[in-house]
Amino acid sequence: MQFGIYGLKPEEKEFFDAWAAENGVTLQFHQEILGGQTPADFAGDDVVVALQTVAYPPAAIEAMAQAGVKYLALRNVGTDNVPFATLAANGIQLANVPAYSPQSIAEFAVSLTLQLVRNFGYVIQSISHHQYTDAMQRTGKELGTLTIGVVGTGRIGASAVKLFQGFGSQVIAYDPYPNPALKDQVEYVDDLADLWPRVDVVDLHIPGTKENTHLIGADQIAQMKDGVYLINTARGNLIDTQALIAGLASGKIAGAGIDTFEFEADVYPAWEKNEAPANPLYEKLLADPRVIMTPHIAYHTETAVENMVTVSLNNAKAFVETGHAPHELDVAKLADA
């Protein structure tokens, strides 16, 4: 059995090697993500095991199919970058890792919130210029005095609810499918319009589907409290970036923590080369001390990396041995959605 591993990160290697030794499977490692491959690149692979935040090009999927690969095993949760119709048309089955560590992303969202409400952007900037009195004069807020609006209470959102409550925050949630485990623990609103005016922080934990694109735009921001904070560790398309920038300019928005940026595909090549991304919206947000921009790293803990590797490889092995995987997704259904 042979798997082609794409988008290999150095910190994953020890987990791949340990799993391969235990399971007697050959792994072919590739640092590059799926992009311009030809069928020859996939020769001998039974499964392609991939991780990337930018779109999976249909041409790469077609090249996989031409090489006889029948399975694609993702090492992550989100599938918004996957061309389901191309997979379905080429008879390629798909699996993801739905819960490698919800806590990792939830903790990151809370950490962004803590940094914003304690003015870390200003504080770090001032200290780096030896402006200590400026840092000493910036008064912060305590999470226990704030109401947090958690949008999406699946795996990650539910972890975030519990973490914020641990700090003494009041939490209000919205999810069209409320989480039964939170039934007696959090107040759900029936409509997002009821959440916006009541919360000091909006924390997003929903998928980046077409329907959720620009869930937060100028109209929604107008309904929020003055001085609201926005936290997005979910997907960039959820927030209209132009509206976010306008809200910061007017002072309506007090700060934003953006791990997932709307135009990530445009700035990703620069991130990879450690260069400044030439995207005016990105530059504007990056320069604002009220904004914390991180390069899609909310997931990135030791626990998460180990689980992403081992669960995706278990999916891949099950595909080859049984034709199905524990975390298989129905690509035909997703293509029609």
* Residue 76 one-letter amino acid: N
Residue 75 falls in the annotated catalytic set? no
Which of 39, 78, 217, 289 touches ligand NAD (CB under 6 A)? 78
Residue 235 falls in the annotated catalytic set? yes
- Spatial CB neighbours of 103, under 8 Å, sequence gap ≥ 6: 159, 303
Min dist CB 67 to ligand NAD, Å, is 29
157 binds ligand NAD (CB under 6 A): yes
Q: Give the phi and the psi of residue 150 in degrees, each rounded to 5.
A: -100, 120
* Residue 53 interface partner, choices ligand COI, ligand NAD, none, CB cut-off 5-8 Å depending on type: ligand COI
d(CA 307, CA 301): 10
Which of 299, 312, 315, 325 touches ligand COI (CB under 6 A)? 299
Residue 142 falls in the annotated catalytic set? no
- Spatial CB neighbours of 271, under 8 Å, sequence gap ≥ 6: 277, 295
Which of 37, 76, 126, 237 touches ligand COI (CB under 6 A)? 76
- Spatial CB neighbours of 328, under 8 Å, sequence gap ≥ 6: 93, 94, 95, 315, 319
236 binds ligand NAD (CB under 6 A): no
Residues 141-170 that bind ligand COI (CB under 6 A): none
Structure tokens at 185: 């623990």
Give whichever of 105 and 199 is closer to ligand COI, judged by the CB atom. Answer: 105
Binding segment toward ligand COI, per CB under 6 A, in 58-66, 72-80, 197-205, 240-248: 72-80
Structure tokens at 287: 């320069």
The two beta strands, 47-50 and 71-74, are parallel
Helix axes 241-250, 280-287, angle to 10 degrees: 40
Which of 57, 58, 78, 217 touches ligand COI (CB under 6 A)? 78
Residues near ligand COI (CB under 6 A): 53, 76-78, 296, 299
Active site residues: 235, 264, 296
